[in-house]
Structure 1
Amino acid sequence: MTVSVLSLYRRITRWPAGHWIFSRLVCFKAPYFATIAPRFVALEPGRCEVRIRDRHRVHNHIGTVHAIALCNLAELSAGVMTDATIPADMRWIPKGMTVEYLKKAVGTLHGVATPETMVHSAVDGYQWPVDVQITDAAGEVVFRARVMMWVSPRRHA
Protein backbone atom coordinates (compact mmCIF):
# COMPACT_ATOMS: atom_id res chain seq x y z
CA MET A 1 0.00 0.00 0.00
CA THR A 2 1.29 3.43 -0.89
CA VAL A 3 0.57 6.59 1.04
CA SER A 4 -0.92 9.44 -0.98
CA VAL A 5 0.94 12.72 -1.14
CA LEU A 6 -2.09 14.45 0.38
CA SER A 7 -2.33 12.16 3.41
CA LEU A 8 1.44 12.42 3.91
CA TYR A 9 1.20 16.23 3.78
CA ARG A 10 -1.66 16.27 6.28
CA ARG A 11 0.17 13.99 8.68
CA ILE A 12 3.64 15.52 8.50
CA THR A 13 2.64 19.19 8.59
CA ARG A 14 1.13 18.69 12.05
CA TRP A 15 4.67 18.21 13.40
CA PRO A 16 7.05 21.03 14.32
CA ALA A 17 8.97 21.88 11.12
CA GLY A 18 6.51 19.67 9.23
CA HIS A 19 6.27 21.91 6.17
CA TRP A 20 10.06 21.89 5.88
CA ILE A 21 10.17 18.08 6.28
CA PHE A 22 7.45 17.56 3.67
CA SER A 23 9.27 19.88 1.25
CA ARG A 24 12.50 17.89 1.71
CA LEU A 25 10.66 14.61 1.12
CA VAL A 26 9.23 15.88 -2.16
CA CYS A 27 12.71 16.97 -3.24
CA PHE A 28 14.08 13.57 -2.26
CA LYS A 29 11.52 11.92 -4.56
CA ALA A 30 12.14 14.48 -7.36
CA PRO A 31 15.70 15.77 -6.68
CA TYR A 32 15.87 18.43 -9.39
CA PHE A 33 13.33 20.58 -7.53
CA ALA A 34 15.79 20.94 -4.64
CA THR A 35 17.59 23.52 -6.82
CA ILE A 36 14.90 26.07 -5.91
CA ALA A 37 14.60 24.99 -2.23
CA PRO A 38 10.79 25.05 -2.23
CA ARG A 39 8.66 25.34 0.91
CA PHE A 40 5.15 23.91 0.67
CA VAL A 41 2.68 26.26 2.34
CA ALA A 42 -0.68 24.58 1.61
CA LEU A 43 -1.94 21.47 -0.14
CA GLU A 44 -5.50 20.30 -0.68
CA PRO A 45 -7.38 18.78 -3.60
CA GLY A 46 -7.46 21.44 -6.30
CA ARG A 47 -4.84 23.75 -4.73
CA CYS A 48 -1.13 23.74 -3.96
CA GLU A 49 0.87 26.70 -2.63
CA VAL A 50 4.67 26.75 -2.64
CA ARG A 51 7.15 29.51 -1.74
CA ILE A 52 10.73 30.06 -2.77
CA ARG A 53 13.14 32.58 -1.34
CA ASP A 54 15.13 34.97 -3.48
CA ARG A 55 18.66 33.57 -3.15
CA HIS A 56 21.78 33.99 -5.24
CA ARG A 57 21.65 30.44 -6.60
CA VAL A 58 18.31 31.08 -8.36
CA HIS A 59 19.40 34.41 -9.86
CA ASN A 60 20.02 35.28 -13.48
CA HIS A 61 22.68 37.71 -14.70
CA ILE A 62 20.60 40.80 -13.75
CA GLY A 63 19.98 39.71 -10.16
CA THR A 64 16.35 38.62 -10.43
CA VAL A 65 14.92 35.12 -10.04
CA HIS A 66 15.77 33.17 -13.17
CA ALA A 67 13.03 32.26 -15.65
CA ILE A 68 13.74 28.54 -15.30
CA ALA A 69 13.49 28.73 -11.50
CA LEU A 70 10.01 30.19 -12.03
CA CYS A 71 9.20 27.34 -14.44
CA ASN A 72 10.43 24.83 -11.84
CA LEU A 73 8.17 26.39 -9.22
CA ALA A 74 5.23 26.21 -11.65
CA GLU A 75 5.85 22.58 -12.60
CA LEU A 76 6.39 21.53 -8.99
CA SER A 77 3.24 23.17 -7.63
CA ALA A 78 1.14 21.94 -10.59
CA GLY A 79 2.46 18.40 -10.24
CA VAL A 80 1.94 18.08 -6.50
CA MET A 81 -1.55 19.63 -6.78
CA THR A 82 -2.38 17.13 -9.53
CA ASP A 83 -1.10 14.24 -7.43
CA ALA A 84 -3.22 15.38 -4.48
CA THR A 85 -6.34 15.82 -6.63
CA ILE A 86 -6.67 12.96 -9.11
CA PRO A 87 -8.28 9.64 -8.15
CA ALA A 88 -5.94 6.95 -6.80
CA ASP A 89 -6.49 4.82 -9.93
CA MET A 90 -5.08 7.59 -12.15
CA ARG A 91 -1.53 8.81 -12.80
CA TRP A 92 -0.13 11.96 -14.39
CA ILE A 93 2.82 13.46 -16.22
CA PRO A 94 3.40 17.02 -17.48
CA LYS A 95 2.85 17.20 -21.23
CA GLY A 96 3.61 20.85 -21.87
CA MET A 97 3.75 24.31 -20.37
CA THR A 98 3.14 27.82 -21.64
CA VAL A 99 4.46 30.71 -19.60
CA GLU A 100 4.25 34.48 -19.32
CA TYR A 101 6.91 36.59 -17.60
CA LEU A 102 5.00 39.66 -16.46
CA LYS A 103 7.40 41.51 -14.18
CA LYS A 104 10.87 41.20 -12.66
CA ALA A 105 10.76 38.44 -10.07
CA VAL A 106 12.46 39.56 -6.85
CA GLY A 107 12.01 38.71 -3.19
CA THR A 108 10.13 35.75 -1.80
CA LEU A 109 7.83 34.29 -4.44
CA HIS A 110 4.55 32.46 -3.87
CA GLY A 111 3.21 29.99 -6.44
CA VAL A 112 -0.41 28.81 -6.44
CA ALA A 113 -1.55 25.96 -8.70
CA THR A 114 -5.24 25.35 -9.40
CA PRO A 115 -6.95 23.28 -12.09
CA GLU A 116 -8.97 24.86 -14.89
CA THR A 117 -11.56 22.08 -14.71
CA MET A 118 -12.54 19.26 -12.42
CA VAL A 119 -10.63 16.00 -12.79
CA HIS A 120 -12.43 12.73 -13.48
CA SER A 121 -11.71 9.03 -13.85
CA ALA A 122 -11.52 7.76 -17.39
CA VAL A 123 -10.85 4.64 -19.39
CA ASP A 124 -8.46 6.57 -21.65
CA GLY A 125 -6.02 9.32 -20.85
CA TYR A 126 -6.84 13.00 -21.26
CA GLN A 127 -5.24 16.42 -21.02
CA TRP A 128 -5.89 18.38 -17.84
CA PRO A 129 -4.83 22.05 -17.75
CA VAL A 130 -3.48 23.51 -14.50
CA ASP A 131 -3.04 27.24 -13.96
CA VAL A 132 -0.16 28.56 -11.85
CA GLN A 133 0.27 32.14 -10.71
CA ILE A 134 3.43 33.32 -9.02
CA THR A 135 3.26 36.50 -6.99
CA ASP A 136 5.87 38.62 -5.23
CA ALA A 137 5.76 39.80 -1.60
CA ALA A 138 3.49 42.72 -2.62
CA GLY A 139 0.98 40.26 -4.09
CA GLU A 140 1.67 41.30 -7.68
CA VAL A 141 1.65 38.56 -10.32
CA VAL A 142 5.16 38.26 -11.79
CA PHE A 143 4.69 35.01 -13.72
CA ARG A 144 1.84 32.93 -15.05
CA ALA A 145 1.90 29.39 -16.42
CA ARG A 146 -0.52 26.88 -17.86
CA VAL A 147 0.77 23.36 -17.32
CA MET A 148 -0.87 20.69 -19.45
CA MET A 149 -1.01 17.42 -17.53
CA TRP A 150 -1.62 14.07 -19.16
CA VAL A 151 -3.87 12.09 -16.78
CA SER A 152 -4.41 8.41 -17.48
CA PRO A 153 -5.50 5.22 -15.72
CA ARG A 154 -2.83 3.24 -13.89
CA ARG A 155 -2.16 -0.02 -15.69
CA HIS A 156 -1.84 -3.01 -13.39
CA ALA A 157 0.11 -5.96 -14.74
Structure 2
Amino acid sequence: MANQSTLNLWTRLSATASGRWLFSQLLCFKAPYFRSIAPRFKELAPGHCVVPVRKRRAVLNHIGTVHAIAMCNAAELAGGVMTEVSIPASVRWIPRGMTVEYLKKATTSVTATARPMNPSFDWAVAGEYLVEVSVTDAGGEAVFKAVISMWVSPRKR
Protein backbone atom coordinates (compact mmCIF):
# COMPACT_ATOMS: atom_id res chain seq x y z
CA MET A 1 0.00 0.00 0.00
CA ALA A 2 1.37 3.37 -0.96
CA ASN A 3 1.00 6.41 1.26
CA GLN A 4 -2.16 7.84 -0.33
CA SER A 5 -3.75 4.41 -0.78
CA THR A 6 -3.19 3.62 2.91
CA LEU A 7 -4.91 6.84 3.98
CA ASN A 8 -7.71 6.30 1.44
CA LEU A 9 -8.26 2.77 2.74
CA TRP A 10 -8.41 4.07 6.32
CA THR A 11 -10.88 6.78 5.31
CA ARG A 12 -13.15 4.20 3.64
CA LEU A 13 -12.99 1.66 6.48
CA SER A 14 -12.67 3.67 9.70
CA ALA A 15 -16.32 4.67 10.08
CA THR A 16 -17.22 1.34 11.73
CA ALA A 17 -15.59 -0.95 14.29
CA SER A 18 -15.56 -3.79 11.78
CA GLY A 19 -13.90 -1.51 9.21
CA ARG A 20 -11.18 -0.51 11.68
CA TRP A 21 -10.69 -4.20 12.49
CA LEU A 22 -10.36 -5.00 8.77
CA PHE A 23 -7.86 -2.17 8.28
CA SER A 24 -5.75 -3.56 11.16
CA GLN A 25 -5.92 -7.04 9.63
CA LEU A 26 -4.83 -5.77 6.22
CA LEU A 27 -1.85 -3.95 7.73
CA CYS A 28 -0.87 -7.10 9.60
CA PHE A 29 -1.15 -9.09 6.37
CA LYS A 30 1.30 -6.68 4.73
CA ALA A 31 3.67 -6.78 7.75
CA PRO A 32 2.89 -10.09 9.54
CA TYR A 33 5.09 -9.56 12.60
CA PHE A 34 2.71 -6.87 13.88
CA ARG A 35 -0.02 -9.52 14.20
CA SER A 36 1.71 -10.62 17.43
CA ILE A 37 0.27 -7.59 19.26
CA ALA A 38 -3.20 -7.77 17.63
CA PRO A 39 -3.34 -3.99 17.05
CA ARG A 40 -6.62 -2.13 16.52
CA PHE A 41 -6.13 1.23 14.84
CA LYS A 42 -8.23 3.95 16.44
CA GLU A 43 -7.11 7.16 14.66
CA LEU A 44 -5.02 7.82 11.58
CA ALA A 45 -4.25 11.07 9.78
CA PRO A 46 -1.15 12.77 8.42
CA GLY A 47 0.96 13.58 11.47
CA HIS A 48 -1.11 11.44 13.87
CA CYS A 49 -1.72 7.74 14.57
CA VAL A 50 -3.30 6.01 17.58
CA VAL A 51 -3.03 2.23 18.00
CA PRO A 52 -4.48 0.48 21.08
CA VAL A 53 -3.08 -2.91 22.14
CA ARG A 54 -5.19 -5.02 24.45
CA LYS A 55 -3.55 -6.61 27.48
CA ARG A 56 -3.79 -10.34 26.82
CA ARG A 57 -1.63 -13.37 27.50
CA ALA A 58 0.25 -13.18 24.17
CA VAL A 59 1.78 -9.76 25.03
CA LEU A 60 2.61 -10.40 28.68
CA ASN A 61 6.00 -10.91 30.27
CA HIS A 62 6.87 -13.17 33.21
CA ILE A 63 5.50 -10.67 35.77
CA GLY A 64 2.13 -10.25 34.08
CA THR A 65 2.65 -6.79 32.57
CA VAL A 66 2.70 -5.82 28.89
CA HIS A 67 6.10 -6.87 27.55
CA ALA A 68 8.58 -4.15 26.64
CA ILE A 69 9.03 -5.53 23.13
CA ALA A 70 5.26 -5.58 22.58
CA MET A 71 5.33 -1.84 23.31
CA CYS A 72 8.29 -1.42 20.92
CA ASN A 73 6.26 -3.26 18.30
CA ALA A 74 3.24 -0.99 18.87
CA ALA A 75 5.49 2.08 18.69
CA GLU A 76 7.07 1.00 15.41
CA LEU A 77 3.67 0.19 13.91
CA ALA A 78 2.10 3.51 14.92
CA GLY A 79 5.19 5.48 13.88
CA GLY A 80 5.55 3.68 10.57
CA VAL A 81 1.93 3.98 9.51
CA MET A 82 1.82 7.64 10.60
CA THR A 83 4.93 8.26 8.48
CA GLU A 84 3.41 6.37 5.54
CA VAL A 85 0.31 8.57 5.44
CA SER A 86 2.27 11.78 6.09
CA ILE A 87 4.88 11.69 3.34
CA PRO A 88 4.35 12.78 -0.26
CA ALA A 89 4.06 10.03 -2.91
CA SER A 90 7.49 11.01 -4.27
CA VAL A 91 9.20 9.96 -1.01
CA ARG A 92 9.98 6.59 0.57
CA TRP A 93 10.88 5.76 4.17
CA ILE A 94 12.44 3.07 6.31
CA PRO A 95 13.05 2.95 10.08
CA ARG A 96 16.72 3.39 10.98
CA GLY A 97 16.63 3.17 14.72
CA MET A 98 14.58 3.60 17.85
CA THR A 99 15.45 4.95 21.27
CA VAL A 100 13.08 3.86 24.02
CA GLU A 101 12.42 4.63 27.67
CA TYR A 102 10.43 2.33 29.92
CA LEU A 103 8.74 4.67 32.39
CA LYS A 104 6.67 2.28 34.50
CA LYS A 105 5.08 -1.16 34.41
CA ALA A 106 2.26 -1.49 31.89
CA THR A 107 -0.34 -3.30 34.00
CA THR A 108 -3.31 -2.56 31.69
CA SER A 109 -4.00 -2.41 27.97
CA VAL A 110 -1.90 0.26 26.28
CA THR A 111 -2.24 2.81 23.49
CA ALA A 112 0.57 3.98 21.22
CA THR A 113 0.26 7.52 19.84
CA ALA A 114 2.69 8.67 17.14
CA ARG A 115 3.44 12.24 16.04
CA PRO A 116 6.29 13.78 14.03
CA MET A 117 8.85 15.71 16.02
CA ASN A 118 9.36 18.12 13.10
CA PRO A 119 6.04 18.56 11.26
CA SER A 120 7.59 21.02 8.80
CA PHE A 121 10.13 18.51 7.47
CA ASP A 122 11.57 19.30 4.03
CA TRP A 123 10.56 16.26 1.94
CA ALA A 124 12.65 17.44 -1.03
CA VAL A 125 15.88 16.49 0.76
CA ALA A 126 16.82 13.01 1.99
CA GLY A 127 17.22 12.94 5.75
CA GLU A 128 16.20 11.78 9.17
CA TYR A 129 12.51 12.20 10.03
CA LEU A 130 12.00 11.79 13.76
CA VAL A 131 8.78 10.33 15.13
CA GLU A 132 7.80 10.56 18.78
CA VAL A 133 5.64 7.75 20.17
CA SER A 134 4.03 7.79 23.58
CA VAL A 135 2.53 4.61 25.00
CA THR A 136 -0.03 5.17 27.74
CA ASP A 137 -1.94 2.84 30.03
CA ALA A 138 -5.72 2.67 30.48
CA GLY A 139 -5.53 5.61 32.92
CA GLY A 140 -3.72 7.81 30.38
CA GLU A 141 -0.35 7.64 32.17
CA ALA A 142 2.79 7.30 30.05
CA VAL A 143 4.43 3.90 30.54
CA PHE A 144 6.84 4.01 27.60
CA LYS A 145 8.16 6.52 25.12
CA ALA A 146 10.16 6.19 21.96
CA VAL A 147 11.81 8.30 19.32
CA ILE A 148 12.02 6.52 15.97
CA SER A 149 14.43 7.68 13.31
CA MET A 150 12.89 7.23 9.86
CA TRP A 151 15.18 7.66 6.87
CA VAL A 152 13.24 9.40 4.11
CA SER A 153 14.50 9.91 0.57
CA PRO A 154 13.14 10.49 -2.91
CA ARG A 155 11.71 7.38 -4.60
CA LYS A 156 13.84 5.99 -7.40
CA ARG A 157 12.24 6.63 -10.75
RMSD between aligned residues: 1.4
Structure 2, unpaired ranges of 5+:
none
**Residue 122 (structure 2) aligned to one of 113, 120, 123:** 120
- In structure 2, the residue matched to 1:64 is 65
Deviation >3 Å, runs of 4+ = none
Shift of 1:16: 5.3
1:112 counterpart letter in structure 2: T
Structure 2 SS opposite 1:130? strand
- 1-structure distance, mates of 2:17, 2:136: 27
1:120 counterpart letter in structure 2: D
TM-score, normalising length from structure 1?
0.94
Structure 1 SS opposite 2:114? strand
Cα deviation 1:109-140 (Å, max 9, x = unaligned): 11100000123322x42000000000001110
2:122 counterpart letter in structure 1: H
1:26 counterpart letter in structure 2: L
Cα deviation 1:60-118 (Å, max 9, x = unaligned): 11111111000000000000000010001101000000000001012111110000012
- 1-structure distance, mates of 2:9, 2:19: 10
Structure 1, unpaired ranges of 5+:
none
Aligned residue-pair number: 155
1:78 counterpart letter in structure 2: G
Cα deviation 1:23-67 (Å, max 9, x = unaligned): 000000000000000000000000000000001111111111111
Structure 1 SS opposite 2:135? strand
Structure 2 SS opposite 1:54? coil
TM-score, normalising length from structure 2?
0.94
- % identity of equivalent residues: 55
Structure 2 SS opposite 1:6? helix
- In structure 1, the residue matched to 2:142 is 141
